[in-house]
Amino acid sequence: MSDTTSKLTDSRLANLGARAIHDAFQQYRMAFTAVTRRAKPRFETCDWPGARSDAAERLSLYRQHIDQIVADIKELLAERIDQKLVWASMKAVFSGLITFHDDWEIAETFYNSVTRRIFTTVGVNPQIEFVSTDFETPPTQATHSAYRVYGMSGETMSLVQQILADYQFKADFADLPRDLLMIAKEINQKLKAIGALRIVERIEMVESVFFRGMAAYLVGKLYSGSHQVPFVLALLNTDEGILVDKVLMDEDSVSILFSFARSYFHVQVERPYDLVQFLKNIMPRKRTAELYISIGYNKHGKTELYRNLLQHLNATDDKFEIARGQKGMVMTVFTMPNYDMVFKIIKDQFAKPKKVTRKQVKEKYELVFKHDRAGRLVDAQSFEHLQFERSRFSDSLLEELCAKAPGTVQVEGDHVIVHHTYVQRRVIPLDLYVKEAHDEAAVTAILDYGQTMKDLAATNIFPGDMLLKNFGVTRHGRVVFYDYDELCLLTDCKFRKIPAAMSYEDELSDMPW
């Protein structure tokens, strides 16, 4: 610390620290926005390598900016770095700085990331971090709507044509009349199926395009009488031009599009809160956390997920218990009966014949975070230094955690400290599903298990361990993979034919013959 800084009062130092974090957040948001804006020209020019590069770059931005500001704050505060009164003042100043921000909730999470990196706080401390938001939600009035409204003034085809024209793609449609006819037909069939009026009264469309991979999505909802229907157009850009590949008009299909097993969208938005509320209206069963994660604000999605967990614990008497399914060699997995997430703890030592290390397991989860998940790899959020009441753990679970992961889980008085865990959506393990489901559903799941292998291979992923217990079935009936300790890039694998066994004993051996 310089002599000038060392002479500053605590309040002045807190002011400087808060402004430094605020400036770092602004720089992060500018970088995030710049990368996101590139998605549209990438799609228009079919620059798929560039799109993949952008996806990887954007995922790395948060950590880069947090690393830099943490170093700056440590230098600024020096010997006062751990004085919580200074940090409480910093939080108050920071809250004032973001009062009129349209992305205030993202800013609060950014601040939390700085404090937790510096303090490695066990549990949470509302004095120095935003455990809940400081504001009435939302604190600001939107100056611009997140969506456009289209009223019916003629035929459905002309309405859809106006919608497509307003997105102003700098690439031609391959056969626009064909697409318009197909979309109008899909709309009419949907309205007939649900017993709605024959006419569309209005359509609301998110102003920004949702980009992911080689596709673009126009997201909205349409109204006919008392009916509200999701309305999503999936676009592809081919050698012939842009075409409408699919029309999604039911909640389940749109929910799968925004699935926790898919990579994050690139969508330009000034007020993430407004967009999430719009999406929540289309997909009411989706958590707010999942929607933030799906549009690229995974760190704030993690914040919302933690808040949701606290709400569940406060509202129920649920106890943590060992999750259904076969116990893993690498992880202990637990959940709550009425909570649809699981908590995965890496064991201190792995059962044989596992040869991976703890570091390698974490690297596999990092690979999944950065890779195209193809709708088949379950998103995992990493949490550190969580604190729970001991009474919320079943005896069998606590005994297992203390025996298998004493380096990660400790009991301190009336509390259980979890120093690291991955949190994922709970699914039904595939081996249990095929035993418990009706035959037709079980067959469908096994066929989708095969399709999962193809989808992962198409994105250069090999699951490694292909046992059914490592796969699960979502509430939509889709098969996903969630056990990553042996996952690897397909191009890193060498596949050989297994020679015929010389004897029955050879077939049972764990050694090559």
Distance CA 500, CA 168 (A): 61
Distance CA 102, CA 105 (A): 8
Which residues lie below 8 Å from residue 364, measured CB to CB, with a gap of 6+? Answer: 356, 484, 485, 486, 487, 488
Ramachandran angles phi, psi of 63, nearest 5° = -65, -40
DSSP, collapsed to helix, strand or coil, labels residue 207 as coil
CA distances (Å), origin 457, targets 266, 297, 464, 473: 23, 27, 11, 19
DSSP 8-class letter at 391: G
Phi-psi region for residue 91, left (φ > 0), alpha (ψ -120 to 50) or beta? alpha
Distance CA 413, CA 309 (A): 22
* Active-site residue (options: 54, 102, 179, 379): 379
Residues 331/405, Cβ–Cβ less than 8 Å: no
- ∠ CA 451-457-461, nearest 5°, is 120
What stretch of H or E contains 157?
helix 156-166
* 379 part of the active site: yes
Task: Enumerate the active-site residues.
Answer: 379
